[in-house]
Chains A and B, each alone.
Chain A
């Protein structure tokens, strides 16, 4: 009566006849499974469930995607499980994001590295934002950075990740580009998730917030917070197009929380091709575009080898930054 078993039962009961796989390829997964390396409710869980549901709707997979929550170690438990126990499982994909790359870069998955798994593809990117409360006197990003330069203790910046995590690094990237001399002095306060940090921003405990755009949309719409800058290479489309980028304010900082999948390291080439193509078709579909729009995800169209080199670059740049700020030696 494990969760997976129940899900299987429910799926089996409801889908007496599985839809015929439309993929004309040598490989089709019998029991497609997605590991969300966190408890239900977080971003990885969302990635698995939403992608799994849409893949099934599009008949890219022959049956319901089983979502298994394998929480622990900030994704490290799932990573180790895939590397050590399920290295040749062709039916398995695992949700990943910038947080995965950050932890790999900081050696927070003891004994594991990014080349032990196969990187399949991205599903989009959630660009970072730096925001203040609507009644704050700070009007743009350079003004906030000026305040930090003058007196780092006067600005408390809250975010949803631990110290050294992605929300923290994003603000440090911006501070570095803005010419803050010792970024270690930037006062970052860690909260359990972006929502809690925004609440504290509204309550007046914090002066600024760093997080993902999707975490802040509800508060932007209601006018409770003002986004000073989005850390994207150019302005986003649609309803977010009036948010200025950091770059156009003279601070050349880009920080995207990408979402995507990796698979086991010894996955067969046929299975690898199958999943890369499934993710590609998913990404190109109208349904997924709608999901991206709902969730504030910006385009990031990378699959297969391209995705692998993208992850590799982001790991090495995070490694450099983490060394600079003293999180790793």
Chain B
């Protein structure tokens, strides 16, 4: 087994005291950056680049530090999702749906520990996938032309139904709103600005981090302000008991099939350069809901609803390294940053990387394994510490949330315009919550809408305006079939479930978002 021998060499490279210390530091900093709303993996990595340069680190140690931050941030994003209902980064959004309800039922410790385990499973198997499948997987990425990407994104939207609301019309409205927001900015296919009102800040479109922090974090603050001093602040005040801080074996067992399935899904989404971790965690959640949610418990604090997106998004993080290393094409924002680092370290990613710089590649992969185990070891004991956040009274917690939101967003873009946009989103989020419109589809529309539109137009342009290209290959037909089944099936099966839903509706409506 050449691969295993190379991997052993990789471990020899990675297992030096310096590299282990760097991995530990990266994991720790990454977890914290992931947990802070606004600061996500890509900013986390970018912030530490100067550190790597100033320390004069070589190629392998730099990459170990930065990828540990990357994996760490993917782990950390879930913490604020579960505890505060504020996603720490985009892919952690889906974890809010069941993670926060669990926390409100006094099971925050379990949710955190379980999601830690799920993150580990996703990242661990994805790293193995990277080891054995990277060269073959590149061929999968090449199968996806614009038409296939469009079908994939359409699939994501068609399975949206019921993800986060009992009222499908409101879900659809929210998704449409998100799609509309995705239109803002210069249209790359014509070079014409749309809905920018001559405002240069809007030319690049709306940064979805700004949208997420506004919609989730600031609107939480507004809701708190509205209810301050009254009994109603129960909606923001979490329960005080932490619950057990380790998941029971029964729960782990129940979640194992979920984690396995979503690891595969997330990994594939990560491998596709145009898809990424957000799509990975989203498809993982919605597919899993369709598959196993027989009693309609998803969205009300179902542990499987926590395990699915976490395994999915961490697997996607590993998957995204495949096209970056093997093709030099970043599959996500963070891998784009890592790619730039590789280039400035005199390493050209691409088809020849595995043969030209084997020590770097295998050292990096070994470091991923080490970092992943460190993260698990670090995260499980820290659960007890994290959940103490819940004991902070809202009157102290909420100003801190507001402060972190503002500082985080300003830190990324250095633009006060973005702060205004964030406030606008905060107000919009508050209004939408009042109207009981789910927020997740809004973000999904913003996040995926642009890629969906652009790929459809690329496909049609290449085919000279012939729309049949969108169903022109077996792969597109397969994706459309899954999409249509995912869309239509719940409508027919829905009748059976409706009765049960009605019972759950009241409870659910008060909890989701």
Q: Using CB atoms and an 8 Å cutoff, list the residues of chain A in contact with chain B.
A: 1-7, 10-11, 14-15, 39-42, 45-46, 49-50, 53, 64, 67-74, 76-77, 80-81, 108-110, 153, 156, 162-165, 187, 189-193, 195-196, 198-200, 202-206, 217-219, 221-222, 224, 294-295, 327
Contact = CB atoms under 8 A, between A and B. Distances in A.
Interface string B339-372: 1100110101111110000000000000000000
Contacts of A39: 42, 333, 336
B462 interface: yes
Contacts of B350: 217-219, 221-222
B336 A41 contact: yes
Contact of A202 (B51, B142, B454): B142
Interface string B192-211: 00000010111110000000
B97 interface: no
Contact of B340 (A11, A46, A203, A217): A46
A195 B414 contact: no
B495 interface: no
B50 A195 contact: no
A72 B415 contact: yes
B362 to A, nearest CB: 19
A10 B47 CA distance: 10
10 nearest interchain CB pairs?
A218-B350, A222-B351, A164-B191, A40-B46, A195-B329, A41-B336, A73-B203, A2-B411, A162-B188, A205-B145
User: Which interface residue of A41, A49, A76, A162 has the most chain B CB atoms within 10 A?
Assistant: A41
A222 B412 CA distance: 36
Contacts of A74: 186, 203-204
B286 to A, nearest CB: 25
Contacts of A204: 142, 145
A73 B200 contact: yes
A199 B273 contact: yes
Contact of B413 (A7, A50, A70, A80): A70
A67 B411 contact: no
Given A2-B414, A45-B340, A74-B203, A196 B273 contact: yes
Contacts of A219: 328, 350-351
Residues of B contacting A: mostly: helix
A168 B474 CA distance: 31
8 contacts: A3-B43, A40-B46, A46-B340, A72-B204, A80-B200, A192-B188, A193-B329, A203-B144
Nearest to B45: A40
B458 interface: yes
Contact of B348 (A80, A200, A205, A221): A221
B482 interface: no
A218 B352 contact: yes
A222 B325 CA distance: 13
Contacts of B412: 3, 69
B355 to A, nearest CB: 9
Given A41-B340, A164-B191, A203 B204 contact: no
A173 B412 CA distance: 37
B26 to A, nearest CB: 14
A254 to B, nearest CB: 23
B469 to A, nearest CB: 10
A70 B462 contact: no
B54 interface: yes
Nearest to A10: B51
B145 A69 contact: no
B200 A109 contact: yes
A118 B309 CA distance: 50
Nearest to A168: B191
A40 B337 contact: yes
B348 A217 contact: yes
Interface in B105-150: 141-146
A310 to B, nearest CB: 25
Given A39-B42, A64-B50, A71 B340 contact: no
B410 to A, nearest CB: 6
Contact of B200 (A72, A163, A295): A72
A199 B200 contact: no
B329 A199 contact: yes
B49 interface: yes
A67 B53 CA distance: 12
Contacts of A164: 191
User: Which interface residue of B49, B50, B274, B413 has the most chain A CB atoms within 10 A?
Assistant: B50
